[in-house]
A and B are shown apart, each in its own frame.
Chain A
Amino acid sequence: MTLSVRRIGFHVFVIAFGLLMIYPILWTLASSLKPESEIFKHAGSLIPSTLEWNNYIKGWSGFGTTSFSIFFRNSAVITLFGLVGTLFSSSVVAFGFARLKFRTQSLFFACLMITMMLPSQVTMIPQYIMFHKLNWVNTFLPLIVPHYIGGSPFFIFMMIQFFRGIPRELDEAAVIDGCNTYHIFWKVILPLAKPAFMTVAIFSFMWTWDDFLGPLIYLNDPKLFTVSMGLRMFSDPSSVSNWGYMFAMSVLSLIPQFLIFFTFQKYIVEGIATTGLKG
Protein backbone atom coordinates (compact mmCIF):
# COMPACT_ATOMS: atom_id res chain seq x y z
CA MET A 1 0.00 0.00 0.00
CA THR A 2 2.50 2.53 1.17
CA LEU A 3 4.73 1.45 -1.66
CA SER A 4 2.43 2.68 -4.40
CA VAL A 5 1.59 5.88 -2.53
CA ARG A 6 5.27 6.53 -2.27
CA ARG A 7 5.67 5.75 -5.92
CA ILE A 8 2.93 8.17 -6.93
CA GLY A 9 4.35 10.81 -4.63
CA PHE A 10 7.72 10.27 -6.23
CA HIS A 11 6.41 10.74 -9.72
CA VAL A 12 4.39 13.81 -8.77
CA PHE A 13 7.39 15.43 -7.21
CA VAL A 14 9.67 14.59 -10.11
CA ILE A 15 7.17 15.92 -12.61
CA ALA A 16 6.58 19.13 -10.68
CA PHE A 17 10.25 19.81 -10.35
CA GLY A 18 10.69 18.81 -13.95
CA LEU A 19 8.24 21.50 -14.97
CA LEU A 20 10.39 24.04 -13.21
CA MET A 21 13.32 22.69 -15.13
CA ILE A 22 11.76 23.12 -18.50
CA TYR A 23 9.68 26.22 -17.84
CA PRO A 24 12.36 28.46 -19.37
CA ILE A 25 12.37 26.37 -22.51
CA LEU A 26 8.60 26.50 -22.72
CA TRP A 27 8.92 30.26 -22.44
CA THR A 28 11.36 30.37 -25.33
CA LEU A 29 9.05 28.21 -27.40
CA ALA A 30 6.09 30.45 -26.58
CA SER A 31 8.04 33.58 -27.42
CA SER A 32 9.02 32.16 -30.76
CA LEU A 33 5.35 32.04 -31.66
CA LYS A 34 4.41 35.47 -30.37
CA PRO A 35 4.24 38.57 -32.53
CA GLU A 36 7.25 40.83 -31.96
CA SER A 37 5.41 43.47 -29.98
CA GLU A 38 4.01 40.91 -27.57
CA ILE A 39 7.18 39.12 -26.57
CA PHE A 40 8.22 41.61 -23.96
CA LYS A 41 4.91 43.31 -23.35
CA HIS A 42 3.37 40.11 -22.04
CA ALA A 43 6.48 38.31 -20.97
CA GLY A 44 4.72 36.44 -18.21
CA SER A 45 2.27 34.54 -20.35
CA LEU A 46 3.14 31.23 -21.94
CA ILE A 47 0.32 31.40 -24.41
CA PRO A 48 0.77 33.48 -27.55
CA SER A 49 -2.26 35.48 -28.62
CA THR A 50 -1.84 34.18 -32.16
CA LEU A 51 0.54 31.63 -33.59
CA GLU A 52 3.06 33.73 -35.41
CA TRP A 53 4.55 31.14 -37.74
CA ASN A 54 5.92 34.03 -39.70
CA ASN A 55 8.72 34.24 -37.14
CA TYR A 56 9.93 30.90 -38.37
CA ILE A 57 9.54 31.69 -42.03
CA LYS A 58 11.12 35.12 -41.97
CA GLY A 59 13.74 34.01 -39.49
CA TRP A 60 14.75 31.11 -41.70
CA SER A 61 15.43 33.46 -44.58
CA GLY A 62 18.42 34.74 -42.65
CA PHE A 63 20.42 37.65 -43.97
CA GLY A 64 20.78 38.84 -47.51
CA THR A 65 20.92 35.72 -49.64
CA THR A 66 22.12 33.40 -46.91
CA SER A 67 19.34 31.48 -45.27
CA PHE A 68 19.42 29.25 -42.23
CA SER A 69 19.53 26.16 -44.41
CA ILE A 70 23.10 27.16 -45.20
CA PHE A 71 23.84 27.86 -41.55
CA PHE A 72 22.44 24.49 -40.50
CA ARG A 73 24.42 22.73 -43.18
CA ASN A 74 27.64 24.38 -42.06
CA SER A 75 27.02 23.66 -38.42
CA ALA A 76 26.29 20.03 -39.28
CA VAL A 77 29.48 19.64 -41.28
CA ILE A 78 31.71 21.19 -38.66
CA THR A 79 30.06 19.36 -35.79
CA LEU A 80 29.98 15.92 -37.36
CA PHE A 81 33.52 16.01 -38.69
CA GLY A 82 34.69 17.32 -35.36
CA LEU A 83 32.79 14.60 -33.56
CA VAL A 84 34.50 11.83 -35.49
CA GLY A 85 37.88 13.37 -34.77
CA THR A 86 37.14 13.74 -31.10
CA LEU A 87 35.94 10.17 -30.66
CA PHE A 88 38.97 8.81 -32.44
CA SER A 89 41.68 10.91 -30.89
CA SER A 90 40.37 11.08 -27.35
CA SER A 91 39.97 7.31 -27.05
CA VAL A 92 43.37 6.53 -28.50
CA VAL A 93 45.14 9.13 -26.42
CA ALA A 94 43.25 8.23 -23.25
CA PHE A 95 44.28 4.61 -23.67
CA GLY A 96 47.88 5.73 -23.86
CA PHE A 97 47.58 7.62 -20.62
CA ALA A 98 45.37 5.22 -18.74
CA ARG A 99 46.81 1.87 -19.61
CA LEU A 100 50.39 2.28 -20.66
CA LYS A 101 53.37 3.16 -18.58
CA PHE A 102 56.12 5.20 -20.12
CA ARG A 103 58.50 7.68 -18.62
CA THR A 104 57.37 10.89 -20.24
CA GLN A 105 53.79 10.12 -19.26
CA SER A 106 53.46 12.36 -16.23
CA LEU A 107 55.08 15.28 -17.98
CA PHE A 108 52.65 15.11 -20.86
CA PHE A 109 49.71 14.54 -18.57
CA ALA A 110 50.61 17.72 -16.73
CA CYS A 111 50.73 19.56 -20.07
CA LEU A 112 47.33 18.13 -20.90
CA MET A 113 45.83 19.44 -17.69
CA ILE A 114 47.46 22.82 -18.04
CA THR A 115 45.97 23.45 -21.45
CA MET A 116 42.57 23.21 -19.80
CA MET A 117 43.36 25.85 -17.24
CA LEU A 118 44.35 28.74 -19.44
CA PRO A 119 41.43 30.94 -20.53
CA SER A 120 41.01 30.72 -24.26
CA GLN A 121 40.72 34.48 -24.78
CA VAL A 122 44.46 34.91 -24.46
CA THR A 123 45.57 32.13 -26.75
CA MET A 124 42.97 33.22 -29.24
CA ILE A 125 45.01 35.99 -30.85
CA PRO A 126 48.28 34.03 -31.28
CA GLN A 127 46.28 31.06 -32.60
CA TYR A 128 44.48 33.30 -35.06
CA ILE A 129 47.75 34.71 -36.30
CA MET A 130 49.08 31.18 -36.76
CA PHE A 131 46.05 30.01 -38.69
CA HIS A 132 46.16 33.17 -40.73
CA LYS A 133 49.70 32.39 -41.80
CA LEU A 134 48.59 28.92 -42.81
CA ASN A 135 45.87 30.54 -44.91
CA TRP A 136 43.23 28.66 -43.01
CA VAL A 137 41.20 31.72 -42.13
CA ASN A 138 37.76 31.79 -43.76
CA THR A 139 37.68 28.01 -43.98
CA PHE A 140 36.34 25.35 -41.67
CA LEU A 141 39.83 23.99 -41.01
CA PRO A 142 40.64 25.85 -37.77
CA LEU A 143 37.33 24.61 -36.40
CA ILE A 144 37.68 20.96 -37.38
CA VAL A 145 41.34 19.97 -37.46
CA PRO A 146 42.05 20.65 -33.76
CA HIS A 147 39.52 17.93 -32.92
CA TYR A 148 41.73 15.37 -34.64
CA ILE A 149 45.06 16.73 -33.64
CA GLY A 150 45.19 18.02 -30.13
CA GLY A 151 41.75 16.73 -29.35
CA SER A 152 40.02 18.15 -26.38
CA PRO A 153 41.71 17.67 -23.01
CA PHE A 154 38.30 17.48 -21.40
CA PHE A 155 37.30 14.39 -23.33
CA ILE A 156 40.71 12.81 -23.02
CA PHE A 157 40.65 13.20 -19.27
CA MET A 158 37.12 11.85 -19.10
CA MET A 159 38.00 8.77 -21.12
CA ILE A 160 41.04 8.21 -18.93
CA GLN A 161 38.83 8.06 -15.87
CA PHE A 162 36.45 5.66 -17.54
CA PHE A 163 39.22 3.39 -18.72
CA ARG A 164 40.67 3.25 -15.25
CA GLY A 165 37.37 1.88 -14.07
CA ILE A 166 37.79 -1.19 -16.23
CA PRO A 167 39.49 -4.08 -14.42
CA ARG A 168 42.96 -4.97 -15.53
CA GLU A 169 42.24 -8.66 -15.28
CA LEU A 170 40.57 -8.39 -18.66
CA ASP A 171 43.74 -7.01 -20.18
CA GLU A 172 45.80 -9.74 -18.59
CA ALA A 173 43.43 -12.37 -19.86
CA ALA A 174 43.79 -10.98 -23.34
CA VAL A 175 47.56 -11.00 -23.13
CA ILE A 176 47.47 -14.64 -22.16
CA ASP A 177 45.35 -15.17 -25.24
CA GLY A 178 48.17 -13.68 -27.30
CA CYS A 179 46.99 -10.10 -27.81
CA ASN A 180 49.41 -7.23 -28.10
CA THR A 181 48.80 -3.68 -26.93
CA TYR A 182 46.84 -2.62 -30.00
CA HIS A 183 44.60 -5.65 -29.74
CA ILE A 184 43.91 -4.91 -26.11
CA PHE A 185 42.81 -1.45 -27.09
CA TRP A 186 40.68 -2.57 -29.95
CA LYS A 187 39.14 -5.73 -28.62
CA VAL A 188 38.99 -5.28 -24.88
CA ILE A 189 38.78 -1.66 -23.88
CA LEU A 190 36.80 -0.12 -26.71
CA PRO A 191 33.76 -2.38 -26.53
CA LEU A 192 33.50 -1.81 -22.79
CA ALA A 193 33.73 1.94 -23.10
CA LYS A 194 30.48 2.40 -24.98
CA PRO A 195 28.87 4.55 -22.27
CA ALA A 196 31.92 6.78 -22.34
CA PHE A 197 31.77 7.05 -26.12
CA MET A 198 28.15 8.02 -26.08
CA THR A 199 28.80 10.65 -23.46
CA VAL A 200 31.64 12.12 -25.44
CA ALA A 201 29.49 12.10 -28.54
CA ILE A 202 26.71 14.04 -26.86
CA PHE A 203 28.97 16.64 -25.32
CA SER A 204 31.16 17.08 -28.37
CA PHE A 205 28.12 17.58 -30.54
CA MET A 206 26.58 20.13 -28.23
CA TRP A 207 29.65 22.18 -27.55
CA THR A 208 30.74 22.37 -31.17
CA TRP A 209 27.22 23.20 -32.24
CA ASP A 210 26.97 26.08 -29.73
CA ASP A 211 30.47 27.46 -30.18
CA PHE A 212 30.44 30.96 -31.60
CA LEU A 213 33.78 32.53 -30.70
CA GLY A 214 35.66 30.23 -33.07
CA PRO A 215 33.29 30.81 -36.00
CA LEU A 216 33.22 34.52 -35.24
CA ILE A 217 36.91 35.07 -35.73
CA TYR A 218 37.67 32.45 -38.35
CA LEU A 219 34.71 32.72 -40.68
CA ASN A 220 34.20 35.83 -42.77
CA ASP A 221 32.06 34.75 -45.67
CA PRO A 222 28.45 34.56 -44.47
CA LYS A 223 28.04 31.48 -46.65
CA LEU A 224 30.26 29.72 -44.13
CA PHE A 225 28.48 30.91 -41.02
CA THR A 226 27.12 28.52 -38.46
CA VAL A 227 23.77 28.53 -36.71
CA SER A 228 25.34 29.98 -33.57
CA MET A 229 26.54 33.01 -35.49
CA GLY A 230 23.25 33.44 -37.25
CA LEU A 231 21.50 33.63 -33.91
CA ARG A 232 23.81 36.29 -32.61
CA MET A 233 23.24 38.46 -35.64
CA PHE A 234 19.58 38.84 -34.83
CA SER A 235 20.22 40.96 -31.81
CA ASP A 236 22.37 43.95 -32.50
CA PRO A 237 21.87 46.71 -29.92
CA SER A 238 22.43 49.56 -32.33
CA SER A 239 19.65 48.77 -34.75
CA VAL A 240 16.29 47.08 -34.96
CA SER A 241 16.36 43.63 -33.40
CA ASN A 242 14.13 40.77 -34.39
CA TRP A 243 13.56 38.88 -31.19
CA GLY A 244 10.78 36.76 -32.62
CA TYR A 245 13.01 35.47 -35.39
CA MET A 246 15.82 34.84 -32.96
CA PHE A 247 13.68 32.78 -30.62
CA ALA A 248 12.22 30.86 -33.52
CA MET A 249 15.64 29.97 -34.88
CA SER A 250 16.88 29.17 -31.38
CA VAL A 251 14.10 26.64 -31.03
CA LEU A 252 15.07 25.06 -34.34
CA SER A 253 18.70 25.04 -33.29
CA LEU A 254 17.79 23.09 -30.19
CA ILE A 255 16.04 20.32 -32.05
CA PRO A 256 19.14 18.47 -33.36
CA GLN A 257 20.73 18.63 -29.91
CA PHE A 258 17.59 17.34 -28.37
CA LEU A 259 17.43 14.45 -30.83
CA ILE A 260 21.09 13.53 -30.36
CA PHE A 261 20.69 13.48 -26.63
CA PHE A 262 17.51 11.48 -26.67
CA THR A 263 18.98 8.86 -28.99
CA PHE A 264 22.31 8.44 -27.30
CA GLN A 265 21.22 8.58 -23.70
CA LYS A 266 19.54 5.23 -24.18
CA TYR A 267 22.88 3.68 -25.00
CA ILE A 268 24.53 5.22 -22.03
CA VAL A 269 22.17 3.87 -19.49
CA GLU A 270 20.58 0.93 -21.18
CA GLY A 271 23.70 -0.11 -23.01
CA ILE A 272 25.20 -3.52 -22.92
CA ALA A 273 26.94 -3.57 -19.59
CA THR A 274 29.36 -6.43 -19.70
CA THR A 275 31.80 -5.14 -17.23
CA GLY A 276 31.38 -8.26 -15.26
CA LEU A 277 34.32 -10.30 -14.25
CA LYS A 278 34.40 -13.46 -16.17
CA GLY A 279 34.53 -16.54 -14.08
Chain B
Amino acid sequence: MNQQFKRELVGISFISPWLLGFLTFTLGPIIASLYLSFTNYDMLSSPEWIGTHNYIHMLTQDSRYWNSLKVTFLFVFISVPLKLMFALFVAVLFTRNYRGVSFYRTVYYIPSIIGGSVAVSVMWKRLFGLHGALNSGLSFLGIKGVDWITEPNTAIWSLILLVLWQFGSPMLIFMAGLKQIPKELYEAASVDGASKVSNFFRITLPMLTPVIFFNLVMQMIGGFMTFTQSFLITAGGPLDRTLFYAVYLYQNAFTNFQMGYASAMAWVLLLIIATFTALVFKSSSAWVYYESDGGK
Protein backbone atom coordinates (compact mmCIF):
# COMPACT_ATOMS: atom_id res chain seq x y z
CA MET B 1 0.00 0.00 0.00
CA ASN B 2 2.05 2.91 -1.16
CA GLN B 3 1.49 6.50 -0.17
CA GLN B 4 -0.02 7.42 -3.52
CA PHE B 5 -2.64 4.74 -3.41
CA LYS B 6 -3.49 5.52 0.17
CA ARG B 7 -3.97 9.17 -0.67
CA GLU B 8 -6.17 8.21 -3.58
CA LEU B 9 -8.30 6.09 -1.29
CA VAL B 10 -8.73 8.79 1.31
CA GLY B 11 -9.61 11.34 -1.35
CA ILE B 12 -12.19 9.11 -2.95
CA SER B 13 -13.68 8.15 0.38
CA PHE B 14 -14.33 11.78 1.18
CA ILE B 15 -16.00 12.47 -2.13
CA SER B 16 -17.82 9.16 -2.15
CA PRO B 17 -21.25 10.53 -1.18
CA TRP B 18 -21.25 12.65 -4.27
CA LEU B 19 -19.55 10.05 -6.43
CA LEU B 20 -22.05 7.38 -5.51
CA GLY B 21 -24.98 9.58 -6.38
CA PHE B 22 -23.34 10.76 -9.52
CA LEU B 23 -22.78 7.24 -10.78
CA THR B 24 -26.21 5.93 -9.87
CA PHE B 25 -28.62 8.82 -10.38
CA THR B 26 -26.91 11.27 -12.64
CA LEU B 27 -24.49 9.66 -15.06
CA GLY B 28 -27.07 7.35 -16.58
CA PRO B 29 -29.62 10.06 -17.33
CA ILE B 30 -26.87 12.29 -18.68
CA ILE B 31 -25.71 9.62 -21.10
CA ALA B 32 -29.33 8.88 -21.92
CA SER B 33 -29.99 12.49 -22.75
CA LEU B 34 -26.96 12.55 -25.01
CA TYR B 35 -28.27 9.50 -26.79
CA LEU B 36 -31.72 11.06 -27.07
CA SER B 37 -30.28 14.14 -28.71
CA PHE B 38 -29.57 12.01 -31.74
CA THR B 39 -33.11 10.71 -31.91
CA ASN B 40 -36.64 11.74 -32.57
CA TYR B 41 -38.31 11.15 -29.20
CA ASP B 42 -41.79 12.28 -28.31
CA MET B 43 -41.92 10.46 -24.96
CA LEU B 44 -45.12 8.69 -25.91
CA SER B 45 -43.36 6.14 -28.12
CA SER B 46 -39.83 4.80 -28.61
CA PRO B 47 -36.95 7.02 -29.69
CA GLU B 48 -36.01 6.79 -33.33
CA TRP B 49 -32.40 7.33 -34.38
CA ILE B 50 -31.88 10.24 -36.76
CA GLY B 51 -28.20 11.00 -36.31
CA THR B 52 -27.14 14.64 -36.26
CA HIS B 53 -30.38 15.88 -37.79
CA ASN B 54 -31.49 17.70 -34.63
CA TYR B 55 -28.21 19.59 -34.37
CA ILE B 56 -28.14 20.55 -38.02
CA HIS B 57 -31.72 21.75 -38.01
CA MET B 58 -31.14 23.73 -34.85
CA LEU B 59 -28.08 25.52 -36.09
CA THR B 60 -29.04 26.13 -39.68
CA GLN B 61 -32.81 26.24 -40.00
CA ASP B 62 -34.24 27.34 -36.71
CA SER B 63 -34.40 31.11 -36.51
CA ARG B 64 -36.21 30.93 -33.18
CA TYR B 65 -33.23 29.05 -31.81
CA TRP B 66 -30.82 31.83 -32.69
CA ASN B 67 -33.26 34.34 -31.28
CA SER B 68 -33.32 32.47 -27.99
CA LEU B 69 -29.53 32.52 -27.91
CA LYS B 70 -29.54 36.24 -28.49
CA VAL B 71 -32.10 36.85 -25.76
CA THR B 72 -30.22 34.66 -23.29
CA PHE B 73 -26.82 36.21 -23.99
CA LEU B 74 -28.21 39.72 -23.68
CA PHE B 75 -29.80 38.78 -20.41
CA VAL B 76 -26.70 37.14 -18.94
CA PHE B 77 -24.25 39.87 -19.86
CA ILE B 78 -26.45 42.62 -18.52
CA SER B 79 -27.99 41.09 -15.43
CA VAL B 80 -25.09 39.10 -13.99
CA PRO B 81 -22.57 41.93 -13.53
CA LEU B 82 -25.26 44.30 -12.28
CA LYS B 83 -26.62 41.76 -9.85
CA LEU B 84 -23.18 40.98 -8.45
CA MET B 85 -22.36 44.63 -8.02
CA PHE B 86 -25.58 45.34 -6.14
CA ALA B 87 -25.06 42.27 -4.01
CA LEU B 88 -21.50 43.18 -3.08
CA PHE B 89 -22.34 46.80 -2.44
CA VAL B 90 -25.25 46.00 -0.14
CA ALA B 91 -23.35 43.20 1.60
CA VAL B 92 -20.48 45.52 2.46
CA LEU B 93 -22.96 48.15 3.57
CA PHE B 94 -24.59 45.77 5.99
CA THR B 95 -21.57 43.96 7.35
CA ARG B 96 -20.86 45.89 10.46
CA ASN B 97 -23.16 45.85 13.41
CA TYR B 98 -25.16 48.94 13.91
CA ARG B 99 -28.70 49.56 14.90
CA GLY B 100 -31.27 48.09 12.55
CA VAL B 101 -28.83 46.27 10.34
CA SER B 102 -30.34 42.88 11.09
CA PHE B 103 -33.66 44.20 9.99
CA TYR B 104 -32.23 45.76 6.84
CA ARG B 105 -30.52 42.54 5.86
CA THR B 106 -33.79 40.70 6.09
CA VAL B 107 -35.70 43.31 4.16
CA TYR B 108 -33.21 43.31 1.30
CA TYR B 109 -33.19 39.55 1.25
CA ILE B 110 -36.96 39.10 1.27
CA PRO B 111 -37.34 39.38 -2.51
CA SER B 112 -35.17 36.29 -2.86
CA ILE B 113 -37.22 34.36 -0.34
CA ILE B 114 -40.33 34.86 -2.38
CA GLY B 115 -38.44 33.15 -5.16
CA GLY B 116 -40.09 32.00 -8.35
CA SER B 117 -43.55 31.35 -7.08
CA VAL B 118 -46.80 31.91 -8.89
CA ALA B 119 -47.54 34.75 -6.49
CA VAL B 120 -44.46 36.65 -7.66
CA SER B 121 -45.44 36.30 -11.29
CA VAL B 122 -48.95 37.57 -10.69
CA MET B 123 -47.65 40.41 -8.61
CA TRP B 124 -45.01 41.47 -11.12
CA LYS B 125 -47.62 41.57 -13.85
CA ARG B 126 -49.72 43.79 -11.64
CA LEU B 127 -46.90 46.15 -10.87
CA PHE B 128 -45.75 46.62 -14.42
CA GLY B 129 -49.05 46.20 -16.20
CA LEU B 130 -50.96 48.92 -17.95
CA HIS B 131 -52.82 49.92 -14.81
CA GLY B 132 -50.07 48.93 -12.46
CA ALA B 133 -48.26 50.75 -9.71
CA LEU B 134 -45.39 51.90 -11.89
CA ASN B 135 -47.68 53.59 -14.36
CA SER B 136 -49.66 55.19 -11.53
CA GLY B 137 -46.40 56.64 -10.28
CA LEU B 138 -45.39 57.79 -13.74
CA SER B 139 -48.73 59.49 -14.29
CA PHE B 140 -47.88 61.80 -11.40
CA LEU B 141 -44.94 62.94 -13.48
CA GLY B 142 -47.21 63.33 -16.45
CA ILE B 143 -45.80 60.32 -18.28
CA LYS B 144 -48.19 57.85 -19.85
CA GLY B 145 -46.81 54.40 -19.39
CA VAL B 146 -47.29 51.29 -21.46
CA ASP B 147 -47.76 47.73 -20.36
CA TRP B 148 -44.13 47.01 -19.65
CA ILE B 149 -44.65 43.29 -19.80
CA THR B 150 -46.62 42.84 -22.99
CA GLU B 151 -44.89 45.54 -25.00
CA PRO B 152 -42.24 43.77 -27.12
CA ASN B 153 -39.51 46.34 -26.54
CA THR B 154 -39.73 46.50 -22.78
CA ALA B 155 -40.66 42.98 -21.78
CA ILE B 156 -37.12 41.72 -21.33
CA TRP B 157 -36.27 44.69 -19.10
CA SER B 158 -39.11 43.89 -16.76
CA LEU B 159 -37.58 40.46 -16.34
CA ILE B 160 -34.07 41.82 -15.90
CA LEU B 161 -35.45 44.06 -13.19
CA LEU B 162 -37.09 41.08 -11.51
CA VAL B 163 -33.83 39.19 -11.43
CA LEU B 164 -31.93 42.19 -10.11
CA TRP B 165 -34.54 42.70 -7.43
CA GLN B 166 -33.74 39.23 -6.18
CA PHE B 167 -30.04 39.85 -5.54
CA GLY B 168 -30.39 38.47 -2.01
CA SER B 169 -28.69 35.15 -2.71
CA PRO B 170 -25.31 36.38 -3.88
CA MET B 171 -25.59 39.08 -1.23
CA LEU B 172 -25.90 36.46 1.46
CA ILE B 173 -22.89 34.59 0.15
CA PHE B 174 -20.86 37.77 0.06
CA MET B 175 -21.89 38.46 3.64
CA ALA B 176 -20.64 35.05 4.74
CA GLY B 177 -17.40 35.54 2.85
CA LEU B 178 -16.88 38.98 4.35
CA LYS B 179 -17.29 37.55 7.81
CA GLN B 180 -14.55 35.06 7.16
CA ILE B 181 -11.92 37.73 6.65
CA PRO B 182 -9.77 37.85 9.80
CA LYS B 183 -10.28 40.98 11.86
CA GLU B 184 -6.56 41.08 12.53
CA LEU B 185 -5.89 42.19 8.97
CA TYR B 186 -8.00 45.29 9.42
CA GLU B 187 -6.53 45.96 12.83
CA ALA B 188 -3.02 45.77 11.45
CA ALA B 189 -3.95 48.12 8.63
CA SER B 190 -5.50 50.67 10.95
CA VAL B 191 -2.28 50.69 12.97
CA ASP B 192 -0.61 51.74 9.75
CA GLY B 193 -3.21 54.48 9.36
CA ALA B 194 -5.04 53.10 6.32
CA SER B 195 -8.39 54.58 5.18
CA LYS B 196 -11.67 52.73 4.76
CA VAL B 197 -11.49 52.93 1.01
CA SER B 198 -7.97 51.65 0.89
CA ASN B 199 -8.98 48.82 3.22
CA PHE B 200 -11.69 47.85 0.85
CA PHE B 201 -9.42 47.59 -2.14
CA ARG B 202 -6.38 46.15 -0.43
CA ILE B 203 -7.86 43.76 2.10
CA THR B 204 -11.55 43.11 1.53
CA LEU B 205 -11.59 42.69 -2.19
CA PRO B 206 -8.57 40.40 -2.50
CA MET B 207 -9.68 38.20 0.41
CA LEU B 208 -13.12 38.05 -1.11
CA THR B 209 -11.99 36.89 -4.54
CA PRO B 210 -12.73 33.18 -3.97
CA VAL B 211 -16.31 34.12 -3.14
CA ILE B 212 -16.55 36.60 -6.01
CA PHE B 213 -15.29 33.85 -8.27
CA PHE B 214 -17.91 31.48 -6.94
CA ASN B 215 -20.73 33.97 -7.33
CA LEU B 216 -19.61 34.89 -10.80
CA VAL B 217 -19.55 31.30 -11.98
CA MET B 218 -22.84 30.35 -10.35
CA GLN B 219 -24.71 33.45 -11.45
CA MET B 220 -23.45 32.97 -14.96
CA ILE B 221 -24.52 29.34 -15.07
CA GLY B 222 -27.85 30.25 -13.50
CA GLY B 223 -28.25 33.12 -15.92
CA PHE B 224 -27.86 30.88 -18.93
CA MET B 225 -30.44 28.49 -17.51
CA THR B 226 -33.00 31.12 -16.53
CA PHE B 227 -36.44 29.65 -16.93
CA THR B 228 -39.06 30.29 -14.29
CA GLN B 229 -39.35 34.06 -14.59
CA SER B 230 -40.01 33.99 -18.29
CA PHE B 231 -42.12 30.86 -18.10
CA LEU B 232 -44.49 32.26 -15.51
CA ILE B 233 -44.64 35.92 -16.48
CA THR B 234 -44.19 36.31 -20.22
CA ALA B 235 -44.17 32.71 -21.48
CA GLY B 236 -41.36 33.59 -23.85
CA GLY B 237 -43.31 36.38 -25.46
CA PRO B 238 -44.32 38.87 -26.61
CA LEU B 239 -43.14 37.98 -30.07
CA ASP B 240 -40.39 35.78 -28.65
CA ARG B 241 -38.62 38.73 -27.09
CA THR B 242 -38.20 36.89 -23.81
CA LEU B 243 -37.75 33.45 -25.28
CA PHE B 244 -34.97 32.28 -23.04
CA TYR B 245 -33.01 29.26 -24.14
CA ALA B 246 -34.41 27.13 -21.32
CA VAL B 247 -37.98 28.21 -22.11
CA TYR B 248 -37.63 27.33 -25.78
CA LEU B 249 -36.13 24.03 -24.71
CA TYR B 250 -39.08 23.29 -22.43
CA GLN B 251 -41.53 24.21 -25.20
CA ASN B 252 -39.86 21.83 -27.59
CA ALA B 253 -39.83 19.07 -25.02
CA PHE B 254 -43.28 19.28 -23.52
CA THR B 255 -45.43 21.39 -25.81
CA ASN B 256 -44.16 20.07 -29.12
CA PHE B 257 -43.40 16.56 -27.95
CA GLN B 258 -39.84 16.77 -29.24
CA MET B 259 -37.64 15.60 -26.42
CA GLY B 260 -34.88 14.57 -28.82
CA TYR B 261 -34.59 18.08 -30.19
CA ALA B 262 -34.71 19.50 -26.69
CA SER B 263 -31.91 17.17 -25.62
CA ALA B 264 -29.78 18.40 -28.49
CA MET B 265 -30.45 21.95 -27.37
CA ALA B 266 -29.44 21.00 -23.84
CA TRP B 267 -26.10 19.62 -24.93
CA VAL B 268 -25.27 22.67 -27.00
CA LEU B 269 -26.11 24.83 -24.00
CA LEU B 270 -23.84 22.72 -21.87
CA LEU B 271 -21.00 23.31 -24.33
CA ILE B 272 -21.64 27.04 -24.28
CA ILE B 273 -21.76 27.25 -20.50
CA ALA B 274 -18.75 24.96 -20.12
CA THR B 275 -16.75 27.15 -22.48
CA PHE B 276 -17.51 30.34 -20.60
CA THR B 277 -16.98 28.66 -17.24
CA ALA B 278 -13.65 27.29 -18.37
CA LEU B 279 -12.65 30.78 -19.46
CA VAL B 280 -13.52 32.16 -16.05
CA PHE B 281 -11.67 29.33 -14.37
CA LYS B 282 -8.63 29.94 -16.50
CA SER B 283 -8.65 33.61 -15.74
CA SER B 284 -8.99 32.94 -12.02
CA SER B 285 -5.29 32.31 -11.53
CA ALA B 286 -4.74 35.92 -12.42
CA TRP B 287 -7.12 37.48 -9.97
CA VAL B 288 -8.31 35.00 -7.37
CA TYR B 289 -6.33 34.79 -4.15
CA TYR B 290 -6.63 31.73 -1.98
CA GLU B 291 -5.44 32.21 1.56
CA SER B 292 -5.04 28.48 1.94
CA ASP B 293 -2.70 28.26 -0.99
CA GLY B 294 -0.52 30.92 0.59
CA GLY B 295 -1.55 33.41 -2.07
CA LYS B 296 0.21 33.77 -5.38
Contact = CB atoms under 8 A, between A and B. Distances in A.
Interface of A: 11, 14, 18, 21-25, 27-28, 31, 40, 43-44, 88-89, 92-93, 95-98, 100-105, 108, 111-119, 121-123, 125-127, 130, 146, 148-151, 153-154, 156-158, 161-168, 181, 185, 195-196, 198-199, 202-203, 206, 210, 228, 231-232, 234-235, 243, 246-247, 250, 253-254, 257-258, 261-262, 265-266, 268-271, 273, 275-277
Residue of B111, B119, B254 contacting most chain A CB atoms (<10 Å): B119
Contacts of A158: 173, 214, 218
Contact of B97 (A44, A235, A270): A270
A78 B197 CA distance: 46
Contact of A276 (B24, B93, B183): B183
A31 B184 CA distance: 50
A83 to B, nearest CB: 15
Q: What's the dominant secondary structure at chain A's contact region?
A: helix
Contacts of A253: 117
Given A167-B292, A250-B117, A93 B17 contact: yes
A89 B18 contact: yes
B294 A27 contact: no
Contacts of B74: none
Interface residues of B, number: 102
A185 B104 CA distance: 35
Contact of A93 (B14, B95, B107, B108): B14
Given A150-B18, A150-B26, A268-B175, A231 B117 contact: yes
Contacts of B24: 149-150
B200 interface: no
Interface stretch (B51-59, B62-70, B150-158, B265-273): B265-273
Nearest to B262: A122
Contacts, number: 284
B113 interface: yes
A136 to B, nearest CB: 11
17 contacts: A23-B127, A24-B120, A28-B119, A43-B126, A44-B136, A96-B12, A97-B15, A103-B8, A130-B28, A151-B18, A162-B211, A181-B10, A195-B177, A198-B176, A234-B118, A254-B113, A265-B109
Residue of A88, A108, A149, A262 contacting most chain B CB atoms (<10 Å): A149
A116 B175 CA distance: 24
Given A119-B269, A273-B183, A262 B106 contact: yes
B204 interface: no
A103 B179 CA distance: 33
